[in-house]
Amino acid sequence: MPRPVARPLARPRAAALPVRVLATALTTGALLLTAACSDGDGGSAAESATASAPATRTTATSPTATPSASPTPDLTETGARNALITEADIEDYWDQVDDPQKWRDSLLIGEVDAAAFLSGKSEAADCQRLLDSLYDETLLGRPSGASALTGFEEGDSRLLYQVAAYRKADLDEAMKWLKSLPDTCDQFTLTGGDDGERTVQVVEASLPAEGDARQGLTVTVKGTSGGDPVTLTLDVAAVQVGADAITVTNGGLGGANHATTEAAVGQGTPRLEQVLAGRTPQSTPTGVE
């Protein structure tokens, strides 16, 4: 029998790549080639999208700039005078006077009796400060900047109106002190001076919702003058606008008209706010309620 002829072993074929894989590889290579060959102005869409991504992230993480608020201008002497009220603002039969800074009431002079206070000297000092400041027109302390003062008379009643600039921290503290007085100085005894022993009462009084903060008080001093019983009644108001404030003291031996105090606050505070906004307030026409 003839021998079978020996055949060489067949070399195994390489496995064929699937069509999807081959197409993907070709596409990727084409993209890489396009990116490598493109330059600045002729860049591909893929390159533009990639380049814009970092800028987008930077913008998103950057804080948004907000315009800073314009600082409130300092109150000037002219501005303080422009912010003062007139007779037309308070109506009735008030007459403006030339020298209200000379007003002083001797019934406010004396020493507060500390014996009746729970905390003694500390509470008595607050009440003494109130009476002293009413006497010398420093209810909120001494102004640190511009100030202007005006006054009006109607029979036995007087109205003192002041606009002034203060150190903000001092003004904040003074307003806080005023708010405490109806509790601290509810009723106390005043001794000494030329008018003997007097009884003083301090109660809270309402005010229009003007300014940043406000406090109203009614202070009543009962005693004798020349041997006759007398009662001094004072409406007291303070309104804060930033580091500036208006103060009103209104009353006398004939009592205090609280509606007049409210009118002074309601008409006067917007005038101060207009001045601080850089405007000149318009004159209040006669007959305005």
Q: How far is residue 37's CA from residue 273's CA, in Å, rounded to a whole number?
A: 68
CA atoms within 13 A on the CB side of 8: 3
Q: Provide the domain count of the chain.
A: 1
CA nearest to 196, candidates 219, 224, 168: 224
pLDDT band at 71 (very low <50, low <70, confident <90, very high): low
* CATH code, domain with 106: 3.40.1000
Reported as a pLDDT band with limits 50, 70 and 90, residue 167 is very high
211 inside domain? yes
In angstroms, what CA-CA distances link 91 with 47, 152, 222? Answer: 78, 11, 28
- pLDDT higher at 284 or 147: 147
283, 168 Cβ separation under 8 angstroms: no
Domain assignment of residue 72, yes or no: no
- Over residues 101-107, the mean pLDDT reads 86
285 part of a folded domain: no
> Does residue 41 form part of some domain?
no
Contact, 208 vs 266, CB < 8 A?
Answer: yes
Q: With a cut of 60, say whether residue 287 has pLDDT above it.
A: no
Residue 56 located in a structural domain: no
**Is 242 part of any domain?**
yes
Q: Mean pLDDT score of the chain, rounded to an integer?
A: 80
- Full domain range(s) for residue 177: 77-276
Domain-located, residue 38: no
Residues of the chain with pLDDT > 90, as a percent, come to 60
Q: Taking residues 209-224, report their average pLDDT.
A: 97
pLDDT of residue 285: 59
Q: What pLDDT, on the 0 to 100 scale, is given for residue 284?
A: 67
Is residue 282 included in any domain, yes or no? no
In the prediction, which pLDDT does 65 show? 41
The reported pTM is: 0.73
